[in-house]
Structure 1
């Protein structure tokens, strides 16, 4: 077996890639723009997993470790043209033994440690096996695989059942003893998938399709405290902290060229350069400033500030709870939506059932919360004249009765310009907006599901006025907007009007609730 003539030094793409490489999560995802070094990071992570396997010390005091790492893509041409080119920058083809017969295998030896006199005392024998799915089923492509880890390159292009199947293949290999297998992993690298892609569900929603609750419980127990799924999102290519710039030809100019060359494909630029998820459909996203890496993060309820719950009423009702901090920044805490099991359809719900569902969601999250600590606001259209055939005010009253946590008030405005601006202004301000990862449907809405109708008409002309498409994401986005309009000076600030000077304050010492009004 050939040995390398000298150590190879590779420059890290950046801190996100480094954190991904170190993570012990069972399913570990890295998502980045084209050229961000994510494939290199995934391959290096595979090599790191190999080096972490347990070993056996021989009579000469040398520890011997063995590992087998799998790499899988959709086709062998893709493996040759991209993945292997990156791999040979880490381990050259002439190091050890590389076999070009499918599946491709690369066997080599790494000296992990030497003693003070330069003699090897820790040695790794490792085999990387590169497979392609091609026109086979997942089971056929992975049959007989026993590996310490599998690297799934460009996971969004692979079958949806690949990762669930691989959960039963990793961690089964060791020529020494099963006890020596350490932290088996499924390592995933890809560009940002569209929001309907199965890979988005896995990476962003942390849901593994095909696994039952019992399966998840058994996996969690087997992992011994390790995270089941963890996702690392690199900054977009035009961001100041973009990764791997130092390794790209032309530096940041590489991305400037990508944007210029693909202006006619805004969805491509969003995904491949800006690393933003998009809807797999026509129409521009309404909230174009939204960035998953900047705007999604854990939000903590502040009991000293009022909880504002926006409601979009009707058969497909939705609600969103948020707070504004002392600086007026929006922190969206939770959502209530009625979705099918596959999360692709909204289910009809009556006002009483929805009111109970919303009440349960609030009580479970914030036990002991009092009525005067919450303000509910709803689409002003629901408070229109009561002689309408659909009489949505009856919906509000029925929901309010089932909710039992106070009155549902009319939101400050139903004007799209004001509602959208409340969200746009927050998302374009540093630290101005954050949404909790639990708000999965709302995050998809911001990522492109909440979008405009297609602007190009069949005549070849472009619409002069863009209308928001009615999708399964519209209701949850509207609910958040109604809540976002609440707060001191919000409407006046949006309209550019000066704030009112505080006048003489009147304190109400009675038990009259100014928000509830006369019953």
Structure 2
């Protein structure tokens, strides 16, 4: 233990802005009998990085679960040092680093949660700290390890350093610093680079000289946070599974690189765990926060705060309202991993034409579920030839051998060419390049297109099968569902809060393509029919008859 004088309970209470009696005398949770808040929290605790992030509604047990995750990592995964006279079976030495955005929040929230597990005068421990400066908690625990075939008790020395990043550059704070693992509390309040820089400092303590030969140190950073706006870098990194972004001077080249990575698969370095809504039957930490608690909170919150702190969803973009705000649910409509391509099931494609063209690739399962497998959007100023260059590798790669289904495009894509001199309209040029017909959607009326998608979001096949499932690689489509495919917000004092037409931004092209895909699959009459039969048995719309009879040989691109 340090020679520095530990703080008294009264001194700790003063730093934490509370009364002495508010600091627990004994742990409120048991290290040996702790039960995670729910299955999502349990999976987060079991995960071993590299970076594990959890989000959910307020009061869902994220912070408490993170403390247990860190201690579990220390006693279960950290190796023991070489045997010594004092420690004949070795000693587990660990340094844990906790980061928060400022010292006031660190002492008044993070440490208050920490003390629920380890009060400042926890047996065999000492707590050090001070006003507007780092804190440190030195703990002595024990674990059981097998030594020469015999289970032995091995001491565990844990030093927990608590820092606030604040205005200090992360390099200045942690340069030369060595730690075992880390925790970024309320990670959305930290710059994303703080999280990755902290990970770089893990796996460095204790020194390799203290460990048996050949033993490698594990490393991990845990992040907990409430859902931020969908454009927040941490949220985008979580949905992407990595903090790395595409880097290319040419935006079109960057888009092609991104498409190639989605085809080949990219190793995730960030594991994302998203807890259900507090109003959901599957809500976690019901012992800590009841359904009634969430209902009362929702009744007084703004719609945006309700989404974040009750539903556990990303907040709205401040300049608009998502078109599918009521129907889309990330935990329900986004697959937990890559969607399997169904062998022998026709591949449908929806196209949106123009100088920012897009395509959506999907299949319909035997149950009637629309499964969105890929998106293709290359940016602005893309002609049909460049679009085909990116489109055809998808058809001859992951989708090779699938029979073609309905290829449907914006009706506007069939006009504008000078037929007298033999020009082809956009949709006709793409059709010629693929060697397969593309048909115009039955309508491009926005309300009809929106309703087609809303029905697939709203109507479930059964209790476990949503009508629409999206592969997590479809980042533009997902960002649009969560925030960016939106109605514009008017200034205060306007007759209406939001406009009637969607914002013309980068996300509307892939969403238009999805709408044409669904309309091409079911037709306008089919969408109306499905709406009429919603919730009744037999509400699944059968495949259109022209899907039958397709053979792989009907489409020459697949036959290369």
Q: 1:362-400 CA deviation, whole Å, 9 max, x = no partner?
A: 22212344xx52432100122247579xx9962222333
Q: Is the 8 A contact 1:286 1:452 kept in 2?
A: yes
Post-superposition offset of 1:488: 4.8
Q: What is the number of equivalent residue pairs in this alignment?
A: 480
TM-score by length of 2: 0.78
Post-superposition offset of 1:167: 3.2
Structure-2 change in CA distance of 1:438 and 1:53 (3 Å): same
The equivalent residue for 1:237 is 278
The equivalent residue for 2:320 is 283
Q: Distance in 2 between matches of 1:6 and 1:257?
A: 29
Tell me which of 229, 232, 236 is aligned to 1:197.
Answer: 232
TM-score by length of 1: 0.84
Q: Distance in 2 between matches of 1:19 and 1:65?
A: 25
Across the aligned residues of Structure 1 and Structure 2, the Cα RMSD in angstroms comes to 3.5
Structure-2 change in CA distance of 1:275 and 1:506 (3 Å): closer
Q: Is the 8 A contact 1:132 1:141 kept in 2?
A: no
Alignment of 1:465-480 (within 5 A): 466-480=500-514
Q: Is the 8 A contact 1:147 1:172 kept in 2?
A: yes
Q: 1:10-44 CA deviation, whole Å, 9 max, x = no partner?
A: 44211111110110220111111111111111222
The equivalent residue for 1:142 is 174
Q: Is the 8 A contact 1:53 1:180 kept in 2?
A: no
Q: Within the alignment, does 1:53 sit opposite 2:53 as a pair?
A: no
Q: Within the alignment, does 1:299 sit opposite 2:339 as a pair?
A: yes
Segments of structure 2 that go 5 or more residues without pairing to the other structure are: 7-24, 249-265, 461-465, 534-538
Post-superposition offset of 1:467: 2.1
Residue aligned with 1:275, SS: coil
Alignment of 1:96-135 (within 5 A): 96-101=125-130, 102-113=133-144, 121-135=153-167
Q: Distance in 1 between matches of 2:127 and 2:363?
A: 58
Q: Distance in 2 between matches of 1:5 and 1:476?
A: 55
The equivalent residue for 1:207 is 242
Which 10-residue stretch deviates more, 481-490 or 315-324? 481-490
Post-superposition offset of 1:443: 0.9
The equivalent residue for 2:398 is 365
The equivalent residue for 2:12 is none
Which 10-residue stretch deviates more, 39-48 or 234-243? 39-48
Q: Distance in 1 between matches of 2:492 and 2:120?
A: 53
Tell me which of 349, 353, 356 is aligned to 1:316.
Answer: 356
Segments of structure 1 that go 5 or more residues without pairing to the other structure are: 214-224, 339-345
Post-superposition offset of 1:192: 1.5
Tell me which of 400, 407, 410 is aligned to 2:437.
Answer: 407
Q: Within the alignment, does 1:228 sit opposite 2:269 as a pair?
A: yes
Post-superposition offset of 1:129: 0.6
Q: Is the 8 A contact 1:111 1:120 kept in 2?
A: no
Residue aligned with 2:362, SS: strand
The equivalent residue for 1:18 is 42
Tell me which of 210, 223, 234 is aligned to 1:188.
Answer: 223
Post-superposition offset of 1:201: 2.2
Q: Within the alignment, does 1:35 sit opposite 2:88 as a pair?
A: no
Q: Distance in 1 between matches of 2:331 and 2:456?
A: 15
Post-superposition offset of 1:229: 1.8
Structure-2 change in CA distance of 1:75 and 1:506 (3 Å): closer
Structure-2 change in CA distance of 1:92 and 1:120 (3 Å): farther
